């Protein structure tokens, strides 16, 4: 059987990454390619980088493309943005990618993409209960999944802690910016995750983002009621989740375009 392939792009505050994904295994087919996020990260500049990524891999025209993006997205439109240029607000990302690359793309919040990937292939696979997939990077992203279904655009990286936007204080970027040790940063994470637990009571917390590669340095320092585990896909989850969704969209578009076969006209409605 031919390989099921889609291409995932993950737009982040420091880098824009892409790779083709095998949808049967959730593995990257080629090493991901990363281009630094342009500054300022305006829509035109970011879409130009997405086009560069697609060119780099010389992707066939029929490979579905998914883009994960660090802001809430409603019907393709970026409604709010914390860590890229403010001119993104109100931009239809799907349409901007279509104009800039000549391709249809499925677009999704980056934490939600990570959530899809962890449900399909990772630490949240077949979990019957409530899971919070949390990405720690430039910002804090949150995907809420209950019985395998996702509540999209949960912007819980922006809850207030001590009168501050939580992600400014507890994201991996805060650790780096302030030169915090893992022990000091873990105290902030303890506070943040405790607050998330108090509000949502998840059965499982899955921690992703680039820094989850170093999970043994901070997860053992946390003492929380729910189980807390590193993301299985580490920081490829955004790419994989966007690719999963792009494939699903392409499959449903194809099914809608294919007339149903009616072998028994007598019972056809
Ligand atoms: C954004 C979220 C995003 C998260 C991780 C936050 O600043 O508001 O939409 O998921 O960063 O990138």
Nearest to 175 by CA among 221, 233, 241: 221
Q: DSSP letter for 137, please.
A: S
pLDDT of residue 261: 59
* C-alpha to C-alpha distances, 201 to 118, 132, 144, 243, nearest whole angstrom: 19, 9, 11, 30
Q: How far is the CA of 15 from the centre of ligand 1 (A)?
A: 14
Nearest to 91 by CA among 99, 135, 16, 53: 99
Task: Please name the residue whose Cα sits nearest to atom 1 of ligand 1.
Answer: 71
Task: Please name the residue whose Cα sits nearest to atom 11 of ligand 1.
Answer: 139
Asked whether 8 lines ligand 1 (CB < 6 A), one says no
Cβ atoms 128, 25 nearer than 8 A: no
Angstrom distance (rounded) from CA 135 to CA 114: 8
Q: How far is the CA of 164 from the centre of ligand 1 (A)?
A: 16
Task: Please name the residue whose Cα sits nearest to atom 12 of ligand 1.
Answer: 70
Angstrom distance (rounded) from CA 86 to CA 67: 19
Q: How far is the CA of 259 from the centre of ligand 1 (A)?
A: 40
- For a ligand 1 pocket test, name from 70, 93, 137, 170 the mutation site with the most ligand atoms within 8 angstroms of its C-beta: 70
Asked whether 71 lines ligand 1 (CB < 6 A), one says yes
pLDDT of residue 267: 45
Nearest to 130 by CA among 230, 202, 205, 194: 202
Asked whether 82 lines ligand 1 (CB < 6 A), one says yes
Cβ atoms 4, 24 nearer than 8 A: yes
Instruction: Flag whether the pTM goes above 0.85.
Output: yes
pLDDT of residue 257: 86
Asked whether 166 lines ligand 1 (CB < 6 A), one says no
Helix or strand run (H / E) with residue 199:
helix 182-200
Task: Please name the residue whose Cα sits nearest to atom 7 of ligand 1.
Answer: 139
Helix or strand run (H / E) with residue 33:
strand 33-36
Low-confidence ranges of the chain (pLDDT < 50): 1, 265-269
pLDDT of residue 232: 97
pLDDT digits (tens, 9 = 90+) for 62-107: 999 999 999 999 999 999 999 999 999 999 999 999 999 999 999 9
Angstrom distance (rounded) from CA 59 to CA 205: 35
Q: What domains are there in the chain, each with its CATH number?
A: 5-111+235-249 (3.30.420.40), 126-231 (3.30.420.40)
pLDDT digits (tens, 9 = 90+) for 184-212: 999 999 999 999 999 999 999 999 999 99
Cβ atoms 207, 190 nearer than 8 A: no
* C-alpha to C-alpha distances, 225 to 94, 145, 195, 198, 203, nearest whole angstrom: 39, 18, 11, 10, 9
Atom from ligand 1 closest to the CA of residue 12? 12
Contacts of 167 (CB under 8 A, 6+ apart): 82, 139, 140, 157, 158, 174
Atom from ligand 1 closest to the CA of residue 112? 10
Exposure string of 145-179, with b = 16+ CB inside 10 Å and e = fewer, is bbeeebeebbbbbebebeeebbbbbbbbbbbeeee
């Amino acid at each position: 059987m031919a390989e099921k392939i889609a291409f995932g792009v993950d737009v982040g505050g420091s880098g824009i990454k892409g790779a083709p994904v095998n949808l049967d295994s959730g593995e990257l087919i080629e090493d991901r390619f990363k281009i630094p996020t342009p500054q300022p990260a305006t829509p035109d500049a970011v879409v130009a980088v997405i086009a560069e990524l697609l060119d780099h891999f010389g992707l066939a025209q029929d490979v579905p493309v998914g883009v994960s993006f660090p802001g809430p997205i409603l019907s393709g439109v970026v409604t709010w943005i914390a860590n890229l240029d403010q001119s993104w607000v109100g931009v239809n990302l799907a349409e901007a990618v279509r104009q800039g690359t000549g391709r249809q793309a499925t677009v999704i919040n980056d934490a939600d993409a990570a959530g899809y990937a962890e449900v399909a292939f990772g630490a949240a696979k077949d979990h019957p209960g409530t899971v919070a997939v949390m990405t720690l990077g430039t910002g804090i992203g949150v995907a809420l999944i209950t019985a395998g279904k996702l509540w999209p655009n949960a912007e819980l990286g922006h809850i207030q802690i001590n009168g501050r936007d939580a992600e400014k204080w507890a994201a991996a970027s805060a650790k780096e910016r302030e030169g915090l040790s893992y022990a000091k940063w873990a105290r902030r994470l303890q506070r943040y995750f405790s607050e998330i637990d108090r509000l949502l009571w998840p059965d499982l917390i899955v921690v992703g983002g680039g820094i989850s590669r170093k999970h043994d340095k901070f997860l053992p320092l946390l003492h929380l009621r729910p189980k807390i585990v590193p993301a299985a896909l580490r920081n490829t989850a955004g790419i994989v989740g966007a690719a999963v969704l792009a494939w699903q969209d392409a499959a449903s578009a194809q099914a809608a375009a294919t007339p149903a076969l009616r072998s028994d006209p007598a019972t056809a409605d």
